[in-house]
C-alpha cells in the first residue's frame, strides 16, 4: 500500500471537473435573476436535489420583473 497523498494531477482533474460542473448552473442562475453562488450547493449530495426542486417551483425574479 502506498501513501495516502494525491498527486498534483489528481487535484487538477478534480478542479477541472468541479469547474465544468458548476459553470452551467452558475450561468442558468444568473440568467434567472439569482446569484450564481447558489450553484455551489449542487456539489452536496442530497442538497442538490432539494435545490433543484426549490428553483423549479419558486417564482424567479425574472418572472416578477416581466409582470411589472
Name the nearest CA neighbour of 65 among 42, 32, 36.
32
Please report, for the chain, the start and end positions of each structural domain, with discontinuous segments joined by +.
8-67
pLDDT per residue as tens digits for the range 3-37: 677 889 999 999 999 999 899 989 988 988 888 89
CA dist 53 to 12, 15, 24, 34, Å? 31, 26, 17, 15
Confidence class for position 47, pLDDT limits 50, 70, 90: very high
Amino acid at each position: 500500500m502506498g501513501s495516502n497523498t494525491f498527486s498534483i494531477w489528481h487535484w487538477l482533474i478534480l478542479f477541472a471537473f468541479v469547474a465544468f460542473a458548476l459553470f452551467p448552473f452558475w450561468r442558468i442562475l444568473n440568467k434567472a435573476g439569482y446569484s450564481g453562488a447558489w450553484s455551489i450547493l449542487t456539489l452536496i449530495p442530497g442538497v442538490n436535489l432539494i435545490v433543484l426542486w426549490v428553483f423549479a417551483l419558486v417564482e424567479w425574479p425574472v418572472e416578477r420583473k416581466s409582470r411589472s
